Chain A
Amino acid sequence: MTSVYFDHAATTPVDPRVLEQMLPFFCERYGNPSEVHRLGRDARTAVERARAQVAAGLGAGEKEIVFTAGGTEADNLALIGYLQRFEPGHFIISAIEHPAVMEAARALNRLGWAVDFIPVDGDGVIDVDAYEQAFRDDTKLASVMYANNVVGTIQPIAELARVAHEKGAAFHTDAVQGVGSVPIDVGALGVDMLTLSGHKLYGPKGIGALYVKRGTRLTPLIHGGGHERRLRSGTENVPGIVGLGAAVDLAQAQLAETRPRLEALRDRLARGVLESVPDVKYLGHPTERLPGNVAFTVRYIEGESMLLQLDAHGFMVSSGSACASGSLEPSHVILALGLGAEEAHGSLRLTLGRENTREEADAFIEVFPPIVDKLRQMSPLYVKG
Chain B
Amino acid sequence: MYTDLVMDHFSNPRNVGEIEDADGVGQIGNPVCGDVMRISIDVDDDRIADVKFKTFGCGAAVATSSMVTEMVKGKTLAEAAEISNRAVADALGGLPPNKMHCSNLAADALHLAIQDYLVKAGREADVPQILKALPKDHAHSSH
Q: Is B59's beta carbon under 8 Å from chain A?
A: yes
The answer on a CB contact under 8 Å between A340 and B32 is yes
Q: Quick one: CB contact mask for B96-107 with A, threshold 8 Å, 1 for yes?
A: 001101110000
Smallest beta-carbon distance A142→chain B, Å: 32
The answer on a CB contact under 8 Å between A324 and B54 is no
**Which of A308, A380, A381 lies at the interface centre, i.e. has the most chain B CB atoms within 10 A of its CB?**
A380
Q: Is B69's beta carbon under 8 Å from chain A?
A: no
Q: Quick one: CB contact mask for B3-38 with A, threshold 8 Å, 1 for yes?
A: 000010011010010000000000100011111111
The answer on a CB contact under 8 Å between A341 and B56 is no
The answer on a CB contact under 8 Å between A305 and B32 is no
With contacts A341-B32, A379-B55 taken as known, whether A323 is within 8 angstroms of B103 at the C-beta atoms is yes
With contacts A304-B59, A322-B102, A328-B102 taken as known, whether A378 is within 8 angstroms of B32 at the C-beta atoms is no
The answer on a CB contact under 8 Å between B34 and A323 is yes
Of B36, B59, B103, the residue contacting A380 (CB under 8 A) is B36
Q: Given the complex of chains A and B, what is the CA–CA distance between A131 and B59 in angstroms?
A: 40
**Which of B31, B99, B101 lies at the interface centre, i.e. has the most chain A CB atoms within 10 A of its CB?**
B31
The answer on a CB contact under 8 Å between A305 and B59 is yes
Smallest beta-carbon distance A335→chain B, Å: 11
With contacts A302-B34, A322-B102, A341-B34 taken as known, whether A378 is within 8 angstroms of B13 at the C-beta atoms is yes
> In the complex, how many residues of chain B place their beta carbon closer than 8 angstroms to a beta carbon of chain A?
30
With contacts A377-B16, A381-B36 taken as known, whether A308 is within 8 angstroms of B55 at the C-beta atoms is no
Majority DSSP secondary structure for residues of B touching A: mixed
A322 nearest CB neighbor, chain B only: B34
The answer on a CB contact under 8 Å between B58 and A342 is no
The answer on a CB contact under 8 Å between A304 and B102 is no
**Which of B27, B54, B58, B99 lies at the interface centre, i.e. has the most chain A CB atoms within 10 A of its CB?**
B58
With contacts A305-B10, A305-B62, A328-B102 taken as known, whether A381 is within 8 angstroms of B32 at the C-beta atoms is no
Which residues on the B side are within 8 Å of A90 (C-beta)? none
Beyond the given pairs A321-B34, A328-B33, A379-B55, 4 more chain A to chain B contacts, judged by CB atoms under 8 angstroms and listed by A's residue number, are A328-B101, A328-B102, A341-B31, A378-B55
Q: Tell me the A residues contacting B by CB distance below 8 Å.
A: 300-305, 308-309, 312, 321-324, 326-330, 340-342, 345, 377-382
A-B contacts, 20 of them at CB < 8 A, read: A302-B58, A302-B61, A304-B58, A304-B59, A305-B10, A305-B61, A308-B2, A308-B59, A309-B11, A312-B11, A323-B59, A324-B58, A328-B101, A341-B32, A341-B33, A378-B16, A379-B55, A380-B27, A381-B31, A381-B56
